[in-house]
Structure 1
């Protein structure tokens, strides 16, 4: 019944009136004025990471003792963290630094074969090196879904001087082992998906021309499947980010999402504090994935948000902000 209700919500999102609204939400994405979305940014820019332009966004005191580095999920962008950024905005002791990893948001479009976890983690590291010099204070890494695996990859591979500054982590709806073979990721492993991957490699321009027309129908249904019961506004916001993602990026992370593991991050992860957060109704990364992270982490608490799906950051933003506050309280007591 739960899945059927979500599918029905997706089909409601396809009705002509809602499709018109969906296009408007899509057109306003990244304008940095419309809510939901990032607004009132204090600084923006790009970092060249080996020929790939990586977009970054900042909000908050540039001299804050702690910087929260937000890493978005699969087929999303930094826009997805808008609620958490607004939550932190009043704090003088914390600033927010957000990164659009390659092939997402306002960063460079790249080939499917360039969409890797290592490459995405290098993107985040390049921004940290550019925006957070050695005297730039402590770092808390926050990642959702694919972004959680990128965060683990960053923690594992960061240079020692950067790792020593990472004081905490918040890993949301993610995994150390290969993503579940159920639900959405089963589609990613299908013969159809592999055929699509090969086709995009051969004729990427043709596929990107038809992307919006097809995705405008499909995206709301996918958004409903991986989410719980978001308001239509949130459903359309999520769908807009799906629509904004080039097809090459959509398929380019297949191999890492379905095969990549980050157990090797365990040793370094145990040296920092944090939380693993999961929605109780997540069909993409089931609770068992976060339970395993918590077990391997040792210093990381497990928080289950009842009734929420994979897009918990949009479904229950208040609870995610509370979890972030708890992590920050462990690494940096609030200034008076």
Structure 2
């Protein structure tokens, strides 16, 4: 599928992208180039420190009905948005993420990064945080690593602190997931160490008729690490039929690319 020439408007509601922790539109440059009508909710959620407030920030900046794609923390925000306004979400893509509550040790690990930022600066924090987020090939891609590093550093320590508080206080989605009735896909890089494949298998098991897509050779930053494959998968998701009452898709498909 040639995503550059696909007629997104005739297939799906406008594509809205919710970035993850310390991320903005730079993460999705190739996706926006392929789908020029797409909109990234930029601005690091204005420093919000609750997922619920981040969802409100996005709701105020997007069209009435959307194809909603969330990456990492952005996927958790997307789920909160579905909870708040399900009628506005025509289809849902959850990328490199999870649906579990905070795990033992998560608070301590996030605060350890925060303390590095407080004591040594944002550059040191990102230098510690970023490498495990990228697959083996991405680590050897100097322009990619430079771009991701600059993006995360530009977020600044106050944004990082607010966003980790939002993540540590994230609302449970256990009761929400079985109620989601729009075309839903979970996408993940095979080498994602932070949000591994198993977490996405749990997502598709919990959401009726959800689909799983695994991208070989990519890590947590898969949209930037493997943009051509990612863009193709997004294009395929955008062509899944969605009637006005958002019926479930009849088959539960799993695939690897």
Asked if structure 2 preserves the Cα contact closer than 8 Å seen for 1:80 and 1:314, the reply is: yes
Shift in Å, 1:272: 0.4
Aligned to 1:167: 90
Could you give the per-residue CA deviations for residues 169-199 of structure 1, whole angstroms, max 9, x where no partner exists?
11101111135657x8762155x74xx49xx
Task: State whether structure 2 residue 50 is matched by structure 1 residue 116.
Answer: yes
Tell me, what secondary structure is at the counterpart of 2:70?
A: strand
Shift in Å, 1:262: 2.0
Asked if structure 2 preserves the Cα contact closer than 8 Å seen for 1:87 and 1:321, the reply is: yes
Asked if structure 1 preserves the Cα contact closer than 8 Å seen for 2:11 and 2:241, the reply is: no
Counterpart pick for 1:238 among 129, 143, 148: 148
Report the Cα distance in structure 1 between the residues aligned to 2:166 and 2:124, rounded to whole angstroms. 27
Runs of 4+ with deviation above 4 angstroms? 60-65, 179-182
Report the Cα distance in structure 1 between the residues aligned to 2:156 and 2:195, rounded to whole angstroms. 23
Shift in Å, 1:74: 0.3
Aligned to 1:97: 39
Aligned to 1:264: 175
For residues 19-98 of structure 1, the aligned pairs below 5 Å read: 66-89=13-36, 95-98=37-40
Shift in Å, 1:307: 2.2
Task: State whether structure 2 residue 74 is matched by structure 1 residue 152.
Answer: no
**Alpha carbons of structure 1 residues 126 and 249: separation in structure 2 relative to 1, 3 Å:** same
Tell me, what secondary structure is at the counterpart of 1:308?
A: coil
Report the Cα distance in structure 1 between the residues aligned to 2:21 and 2:151, rounded to whole angstroms. 10
Aligned to 1:188: 110
Give the length in aligned residue pairs.
232
Query: Taking structure 2 as the reference length, what is the TM-score of the superposition?
Result: 0.79
Q: Which consecutive unaligned segments of at least 5 residues does structure 2 have? A: 1-6, 243-257
Counterpart pick for 2:129 among 200, 222, 239: 222
Query: Taking structure 1 as the reference length, what is the TM-score of the superposition?
Result: 0.62
Tell me, what secondary structure is at the counterpart of 2:69?
A: strand
Asked if structure 2 preserves the Cα contact closer than 8 Å seen for 1:167 and 1:331, the reply is: no
Asked if structure 2 preserves the Cα contact closer than 8 Å seen for 1:277 and 1:305, the reply is: yes
Asked if structure 2 preserves the Cα contact closer than 8 Å seen for 1:227 and 1:309, the reply is: yes
Q: Which consecutive unaligned segments of at least 5 residues does structure 1 have? A: 1-59, 90-94, 201-206
